[in-house]
Amino acid sequence: MRCVLQLTLDEWVAKCNYVAVGTGDWSRDNCAVGNTLSIIGERWTLLVLREAFLGVRRFEQLQRNTGIARNILSDRLNTLVAHGILRRELYQERPQRYEYRLTEAGLDLYPVLLSMMQWGSRHLGGRAMTLTHKNCGATVMPHLACPECGERVEARDMHAVRTDAAMRESA
């Protein structure tokens, strides 16, 4: 029987922040948070995603709503398209103009934006909008819940365990 080291949440956070946590270390390249941040972890990218979730699809509207310089917006859109988060769809032939639409991978980022919105509302006082559930009309702020028991979960309710792949990499 092999003894498996189980890291605390603090140790996992330290790992993703590139702080050494001991000899049972594993590759930092395997940090899902760090890998995700390398694609979306920049202010302008997150504002582009916010606009995409609000239904804004065209370059000019994105530029107007965010105030991003055109060259930076073009770069961020290209990055999101290259990583399969947005897809470009031609909507005008002459001159060629494209809409940017969320892919399934992009839609999977919705909880990230919701969490940021909730945090900003709670800690920075911003509350520019509310969310309404389309099916029933209720004003809600979605939350994380355990898929097994349905109970709401927060950081203190969770325990991180290294995956088998991470253990093989550290061996």
User: Which of the two residues, 110 and 160, has the higher pLDDT score?
Assistant: 110
Domain ranges of the chain: 35-107
CA distance 80 to 49: 9
Which residue, among 30, 1, 2, 5, has the nearest Cα to 16 in the 3D structure? 30
Average confidence (pLDDT) over 129-143: 89
Q: Which amino acid is at 142?
A: P
- For the entire predicted model, the pTM comes to 0.76
When the candidates are 3.30.9.10, 1.10.760.10, 2.170.190.11, 1.10.10.10, the CATH number that belongs to 35-107 is: 1.10.10.10
Length of the chain: 171
Q: What angle do CA 65, 68, 70 make, to 5 degrees?
A: 110
pLDDT score at 27 = 60
Residue 14's CB is within 10 A of a number of other CB atoms, namely 15
**Residue 68 exposed, middle or buried by CB count within 10 Å (0-12, 13-18, 19+):** buried
Q: Percentage of the chain surpassing pLDDT 90?
A: 54
pLDDT score at 19 = 41
Residue-wise pLDDT for 27-83, tens only, equals: 666 788 889 999 999 999 999 999 999 999 999 999 999 999 999 999 999 999 999
| CA 76 and chain centroid, separation | 15
